[in-house]
Amino acid sequence: MPETDLTSTWNRIADALREELGDFTFHISIAPLEPAGQSGDTLFLKAPEHMRCLVRERYTSAIAEAARVALQRPLTVEIVGEDWVADGGSSAPLTRSDERSPFNPRYSFDQFVIGDGNRLAHAAALVVAEMPAQAYNPLFLCGPPGLGKTHLLQAIGTYVRRYGNDLEVRYATGEAFTAAFVDAVRHGDAGPFRRRFRDVDVLLFDDVHALAAKTKTKEELFHTFNALYESGRQLVFTSDNRPSDLDDFEDRLRERFGSGLVAELTPPALSVRRTILRKRAADDAITLLDDRALDEIARQVSGSVRSLEAALVRVVARCSLLHTEPSPALIREAVGQLESTPASGPFERIQAVVAERFGILPSDLIAHDRRPALARPRQLAMYLARETTDASLPAIGRAFGGRHHSTVGHAETRVRAQLERDEDVRTTIAELRRELG
Domain ranges within the chain, ordered by starting residue: 3-83, 119-264, 270-338, 342-436
Torsion, Cα 64 70 74 79, to 10 degrees, reads: -30
Residue range 139-155: average pLDDT? 92
Rounded Cα distance between 352 and 33, Å, is: 43
Of the ranges 88-102, 190-204, 329-343, which one carries the lowest mean pLDDT score?
88-102
Report CA-CA distances (Å) from 201 to 131, 236, 257.
11, 11, 18
pLDDT > 50? residue 242: yes
Split at pLDDT 50, 70, 90, the class of 97 is: very low
Split at pLDDT 50, 70, 90, the class of 3 is: low
Q: Report pLDDT digits (tens) over 107-131.
A: 889 889 999 889 999 999 999 999 9
Per-residue pLDDT at 338: 57
CATH-assigned architecture of domain 119-264: 3-Layer(aba) Sandwich (3.40)
Rounded Cα distance between 123 and 129, Å, is: 10
pLDDT > 70? residue 158: yes
CATH 1.10.1750.10 fits 342-436, yes or no: yes
Per-residue pLDDT at 94: 37
pTM of the model: 0.59
Per-residue pLDDT at 101: 61
Q: What is the mean pLDDT of the chain?
A: 84
Q: Which CATH superfamily is domain 3-83 in?
A: DnaA, N-terminal domain (3.30.300.180)
pLDDT > 60? residue 98: no
CATH (residue range 270-338): 1.10.8
Most confident among 47-51, 220-224, 393-397 (mean pLDDT): 220-224
The bridge status of strand 76-80 relative to strand 42-46 is parallel
pLDDT > 90? residue 262: yes
Q: Do 396 and 411 meet the contact criterion of CB atoms below 8 Å apart?
A: no
What percentage of the chain carries pLDDT values higher than 90?
30
Residue range 397-423: average pLDDT? 87
Per-residue pLDDT at 337: 57
Per-residue pLDDT at 221: 96
Split at pLDDT 50, 70, 90, the class of 95 is: very low
Closest to 141 (Cα-Cα) out of 29, 262, 226, 270? 262
pLDDT > 70? residue 56: yes
Q: Report pLDDT digits (tens) over 324-350.
A: 888 888 888 877 755 443 344 678 889
Q: What are phi and psi of 79, to 5 degrees?
A: -95, 125
Bond preceding residue 342 cis, omega within 30 of 0: no
